Amino acid sequence: MREYQSLLVEQQGAIAHVMINRPAKANSMDEAFWTEMVEVFDWVDRTDSVRVAVISGVGRNFSAGIDLQMLAQAAGSMVADIGRNAERIRHNILKLQSAFNAVDECRKPVIAAVHGYCIGGAIDLISACDMRYCTPDAHFSIKEIDMGMAADVGTLQRLPRLIGDGIMRELAYTGRPVYGEEAARIGLVNQVFADHDALLEGVMDIARQIAAKSPLAIRGTKEMIRYSRDHSVADGLNYIATWNAAMLQSEDLKVAVAAHMSKKPAEFAD
């Protein structure tokens, strides 16, 4: 793995551990972060030996969201013409969105392990992940409203499908914090672990369980879930029928059946 400016990436067996690595800045998302996320998740997607990805934060926090210095620099680059400013801002927003689209569209499951601050852009990030887990002190907040803006990198589009429309609106309109236990109660996270060490241990165990399954079956399942999220039931049923017309001919199915009958662990090819 090459070295990154804002991320630390390690491959642990079949698991890619992607760590936001700016602890002195509460892991805020600087300009390099957005480009590196696209690059890293392209690598995760196309690397057969990686079957699952875990995202966490180095130090005391997951992430305090977008680096305010980056916003200040963007504001300083504005010109006199409103039309050109609007085009530039739109282009920049779409570029930021692509970083988390890369997470959402990655064929491999992506799990967020959250502790400390998870604010603003960090909510956009975890909303794009497959599952989320946290510590009791994890601090979630859709902070954009307190900055005089609407969240624009995925929270308002993805979060209602995770926690429901009403509670999402409450959090988006008020910016109030949600901590670990409430996050679990409203469905923002799957489970709360006692502390950071237990969180990483628990999430890695879940990742290992996923990595032990047929990679084709896991990737197909994620594809179907994503497709069904954005299409009708009828469209989803038609797609899975077409998908499995090919995938049910995979060697993975034979391996899984043989392992089940012999009561031995299955070993699937990457």
Going along the chain from its start, the domains and CATH numbers come out as 7-211 (3.90.226.10), 214-262 (1.10.12.10)
- Region at 126 (left for phi over 0; alpha for psi -120 to 50; beta for the rest): alpha
Give per-residue pLDDT as tens, 182-201: 999 999 999 999 999 999 99
Q: What is the pLDDT of residue 79?
A: 82
Q: Indicate if 124 belongs to the active site.
A: yes
Q: Indicate if 30 belongs to the active site.
A: no
CB atoms inside a 10 Å sphere around CB 98: 15
Q: Does residue 239 register a pLDDT over 90?
A: yes
Q: What is the pLDDT of residue 2?
A: 80
Q: What is the pLDDT of residue 124?
A: 97
Q: Does residue 246 register a pLDDT over 80?
A: yes
Q: Indicate if 152 belongs to the active site.
A: yes
Q: What is the pLDDT of residue 72?
A: 76
Non-local CB neighbours of 256 within 8 Å, separated by 6+ positions: 214, 217, 266, 268
Mapped onto helix, strand or coil, the DSSP state of residue 8 is: strand
Mean pLDDT computed over 85-110? 95
User: pLDDT category, 121, cuts 50, 70, 90?
Assistant: very high
Q: Indicate if 15 belongs to the active site.
A: no
| Rounded CA separation 159/168 (Å) | 7
Q: Indicate if 42 belongs to the active site.
A: no
- Region at 84 (left for phi over 0; alpha for psi -120 to 50; beta for the rest): alpha
pTM for this predicted structure: 0.94
Mean pLDDT computed over 159-180? 97
Non-local CB neighbours of 192 within 8 Å, separated by 6+ positions: 133, 134, 135, 136, 138, 180, 181, 183, 184
- Of the listed 57, 121, 180, 220, which one is catalytic? 121
- Of the listed 65, 144, 210, 252, which one is catalytic? 144
**Tokens 């589009």, residue?**
157
Q: What is the pLDDT of residue 160?
A: 96
- Of the listed 15, 55, 66, 218, which one is catalytic? 66
CB atoms inside a 10 Å sphere around CB 266: 16
